[in-house]
Structure 1
């Protein structure tokens, strides 16, 4: 597949513009045989979570340096996608509440790289927007109830949690 076609396909992803798509294609290339899975590509770019283990202790660490030219392009695209009313924008808003701005951008950048891997690897694949409300419709209702009860039980909250008889 030609680079021009790949750039056009990547340009359809929210947050990715023509310049960012050109950078991604230039750094990754059209041959995806060196990355058997999208996780391998994310690891090569150093956009994957890192766990440091020493004995029984597990801590998180910085993602690392990776390929600076490739790591910057999805980062800029993630920053642009975070401001949109799309699936990636909703993903950013969900993560930023509990993890912070930088980690939310890194998570969205990783998602963009995984989308790019699928678009480059499969000539028949196309980018299909899931919508900003995808998470709301696909969350487990029992989990959502449990999370809301936990928020109400948090220290400093004044609401009483007594079950009401119906």
Structure 2
């Protein structure tokens, strides 16, 4: 509509029509591929939905991730081996306390970019678990290393969620959101006071109860 009243030459109009037709055809192919993928993914729907609990993981992302790593996590010795295989483990070559390289290993040419995109989506929630983690790492190591670290954390979480069937519930989340929790006041009872005096070396044998 924005070019409706513009004077467009016939050759330009032809090119634009061809481009639009091509884009529409591509979209049809994309839609057909996604429909077929969803059909093939149906038997493992529960596994896919299980890892969508992670922030930044859509249903399509979950299908693509599991298509790459499978659902049998026992094929990997540990989450570290999985992150190495995916190209998300930094090569920490240290000698004499000097780090020679922090490059990411070359692997996971499909999985790594996908997880990075998921990580970018996860950190949009600044108060969310990965958003807080990202902010802290970024201050020390910069954006690129921070986003790789988040992608690695997400893959480790996926590994354990698939392996154990547990939900995503990071134990340190509350400590991130509230680094200075209120101190609980303890009620001092007579028994606890006497026990404290004993441990402090006082002779409590002559104490009498009121």
TM category, shorter: 0.7 to 0.9
Secondary structure of the 1:19 match is: helix
Aligned match of 2:40: none
After superposition, the CA RMSD in angstroms is 2.2
Segments of 5+ residues of structure 1 without an aligned counterpart are 140-166
Matches of residues 1-166 of structure 1 in structure 2 within 5 Å?
3-53=44-94, 57-84=98-125, 85-123=127-165, 125-128=166-169, 134-135=175-176, 137=178
Task: State whether residues 48 and 110 of structure 1, in contact with CA within 8 Å, keep that contact through their aligned partners in structure 2.
Answer: yes
- C-alpha displacement at 1:36, in angstroms? 2.2
Note the C-alpha offset of 1:52.
Answer: 2.5
In 2, Cα distance between the equivalents of 1:57 and 1:127?
36
Structure-1 separation of matches of 2:108 and 2:62: 16
**Structure 2: gaps (5+ residues):** 1-42, 181-210
Shift of 1:87: 0.7
Write out per-residue CA displacement over residues 109-165 of structure 1, whole angstroms, 9 at most, x where no aligned residue: 000000100111113x111266865326468xxxxxxxxxxxxxxxxxxxxxxxxxx
> What is the TM-score of this pair, normalised by structure 1?
0.74
Could you give the per-residue CA deviations for residues 61-106 of structure 1, whole angstroms, max 9, x where no partner exists?
3112211111122111110111112111100011111111110000
